[in-house]
Amino acid sequence: MAEAMSTSRAINAAMRVAMASDPRVFLAGEDIGVYGGAFGVTDGLLGEFGAERVRDTPISEDAIVGMAVGAAITGLRPVIEMQFSDFVVNAMDPLVNQAAKLHFMYGGNVTVPMVLRLPGGGGTGAAEQHSQSLEAWFAHVPGLKVVAPSTPQDAHDLLLAAINDPDPVVLVEHKLLYKVEGPVEVRGSLAEVDPAFAGTVVRRRGRDLTVVSYSRGCAVALEAAERLAADGIEAEVLDLRSLRPMDLGPVIASVVATGRLLVTHEAPGPVGVGAEVVAGVVGSEAFDHLLVPPARVAGRDNPMPYAPGLERATIPQVEDVAAAARRLMAEDD
Amino acid sequence: MPRIDPATAEGARAALTTMWTIRRFEEALEDLYSRGLLHGTNHLSIGQEAVAVGVCGALEDGDLITSTHRGHGHCIAHGADPMRMMAELLGRVDGYCRGRGGSMHIADVAAGNLGANGIVAGSMTIAVGAALSMRMQQRDAVVVCFFGDGAANEGSFHEALNLAGVWRLPVLFLCENNQYGMSMSQNASTAGGSVAARGAAYGIEGRRIDGNDLDAVHAAAAEAVAGVRAGGGPALLEAVTYRYRGHSKSDRNLYRTLDEIESWRSERDPVDRFEAAAVASERLTVDDVDAVRAEARDLLRDAVQRAVRSPEPDVDDLDGAAYAGRSTAAVA
């Protein structure tokens, strides 16, 4: 039965379910024990599962992720919290050169079932080095999987699916979603979630244009859709949920119906997820249905600044998405 | 019990056979390369055989190793089939990695070799994780992490030793100090001059040993492994050795003298020294030594002949191969 729960509680509950149902699962990260994690996501788990399975680590991101790779290839299922997603830059070797490649490089002789939780995104005033949306980096690497939940239920289920997955999965958690509440049905065990469930879903039906996003961008897109509806424009909002592999089938089907595509995300636009979505759509049967060129509303192309006005200007806002949608609607009329 | 006890006649023979197998393997690669039959690059460990054989011989079945870009010796000493290694280097389907990894990335997981690594110090934190894994699964295994002198200046080295130190994990860090990181001499690259001494900073006992003396390497490794296995926490050995060949195929040898190379080869060669020691101590006869050399030569000749007959991998073999699970988009 579903209960109202914040995203951080939903993630916490997923870790509890996974730890209880599979002795191979353990957690590691900076200040995840007594402190409960910088954002409180691991709160209470130390008391429940003990220090052997809820491992506080030194501030050594390279060693944390490399250790997880070594544990994963020898039979465990590590779930790693990077305190901020930005810090994973210190661990790019174990993530990109090791975790992503070992299964392939060693001819299938090992699997790397590890999960890397990355609290990311801006809007908290934490500025350049604590606010990035780096998901496109990881989605670019063969061998990694990248998921980015937008709802508490998806955060819960995607984490369980990721833990159950034989491959390394990066879970992009937007920090501003942690306190967002929604109905969550807590699963009874890891096995209750099909690892293949994470396809693109329609969050809102609409006939006029297709708006695609993921993670916190979905909330922005849905709010924009409400404003557009007041003007008689019905936007269909799709949530990618998984960036690699990316399920573009529902996006293509939606664009075939609406003829207009808008992609929005907080990460900067150049060489980003939005470009991949647009390329996939224009390369599909949806091309002939496009009434206007697709558009992107992405993060401003600069590092995340500190001053509130500058930070706000760098992150796509509801009015930015709504305005872009109106432009798309105006172009062909 | 260690796999090989070189103090016995049987163990001495096994150790010498493995050393010769490694040397013949590397020489076979040079030969194939010079004949245009081997592509890519490779890093030869000729001159360093006593480290691989002494250390791996001190391990027990079930123990794990992680290896380096110069890892053919570790791989053979830990039980790999030279034919499948050769097939890998030739890019054939019977290779350990189905031709995907090549020289720098051979893993023989069934034998406990978690893999060579093309990134300097790349396997050090992996070894720490494997050691944690062994302990959490209540397995009695020790992990040996081979790394080079160059790796000791990577951040990963320090993070790995620190984490293994605070968690008291069953890992033996085995520095194979061949004195050059590509062209950079250890003297010029390593503040303080000693890798072994760095262990103390992490509460890990470090010892420097003669890496070209098989008996000494084996004894030191056996002692260190026993301490690690008994729960004493990580250990660090720095085995000083020397590589005769260049770093890789591009090496023009501009950073050291031929006299230096020749002095190591003529006076401190690990195979020569072990043969002399084994004969002097009557563990082996001169006839035994000749037989071992012939055996290794024949083994490699056979391995090469079988490896070249292995087919090249099909491109279709790459489809979905980066993932153990689903690699394509799910249906919503």
Whose structure tokens read 């070189």? B6
Q: Can you tell me the mean pLDDT for A136-148?
A: 97
Check residue B332 and give its pLDDT.
39
Residue scoring higher pLDDT (A121 or B330): A121
Catalytic, A61? Answer yes
A176-180, A296-300, B181-185, B292-296, range with the lowest pLDDT: B181-185
Q: Can you tell me the mean pLDDT for A157-162?
A: 96
Is the CB of residue B279 less than 8 Å from the CB of residue B286? yes
* B109 lies within 8 A of chain A by CB: yes
Contact A74 B133 (CB under 8 A): yes
The whole-chain average pLDDT of chain B stands at 96
Mutate to test the interface with A, among B93, B120, B159, B310 (most CBs of A within 10 A): B159
Beta bridge partners of A143: none
Q: End-to-end distance of chain B based on CA atoms, in angstroms? A: 55
Kindly state the DSSP code that residue A266 receives in the 8-state scheme.
Answer: E
Q: Give the span between the Cα atoms of B168 and A114, in whole angstroms.
A: 23
Tell if the pTM clears 0.90, that is, is over it. Answer: yes
Q: Give the span between the Cα atoms of B142 and B329, in whole angstroms.
A: 40
- State the smallest CA–CA distance between residue A3 and chain B in angstroms: 24
Check residue A332 and give its pLDDT.
64
The whole-chain average pLDDT of chain A stands at 97
Q: Give the span between the Cα atoms of A14 and A34, in whole angstroms.
A: 19
Q: Can you tell me the mean pLDDT for A50-61?
A: 98
Is the CB of residue A242 less than 8 Å from the CB of residue A146? yes
- Which residue in B66, B108, B125 is closest to A63 by CB distance? B125
Check residue B331 and give its pLDDT.
46
Q: Can you tell me the mean pLDDT for B230-234?
A: 97
Is B79's pLDDT higher than 70? yes
Catalytic, A266? Answer no
Is the CB of residue A256 less than 8 Å from the CB of residue A262? no
Confidence of residue A246 (pLDDT cuts 50, 70, 90): very high
Contact A66 B96 (CB under 8 A): no
Check residue B2 and give its pLDDT.
83
Is B266's pLDDT higher than 90? yes
Counted across chains A and B, CB pairs separated by less than 8 A come out at 180
- State the smallest CA–CA distance between residue B193 and chain A in angstroms: 24
Check residue A1 and give its pLDDT.
81
Q: To 10 degrees, the CA torsion angle through A252, A256, A260, A263? A: -10
- State the smallest CA–CA distance between residue A156 and chain B in angstroms: 17
Is the CB of residue B273 less than 8 Å from the CB of residue B53? no
Taking only the tens place, the pLDDT of each residue in B12-27 is 999 999 999 999 999 9
Is A95's pLDDT higher than 60? yes
- Which residue in B105, B156, B328 is closest to A245 by CB distance? B328
Is B194's pLDDT higher than 60? yes
Residues of chain A contacting B323 with CB distance shorter than 8 Å = 103, 143, 145, 166-167
Q: Give the span between the Cα atoms of A324 and B90, in whole angstroms.
A: 55
Residue of B nearest to A196 (CA): B330
Check residue A28 and give its pLDDT.
98
Residues of chain A contacting B131 with CB distance shorter than 8 Å = 70
- State the smallest CA–CA distance between residue B25 and chain A in angstroms: 20
Taking only the tens place, the pLDDT of each residue in A17-48 is 999 999 999 999 999 999 999 999 999 999 99
Is A196's pLDDT higher than 80? no
For residue A215, give both structure tokens: 């993670």
Residues of chain A contacting B114 with CB distance shorter than 8 Å = 70, 73-74, 110
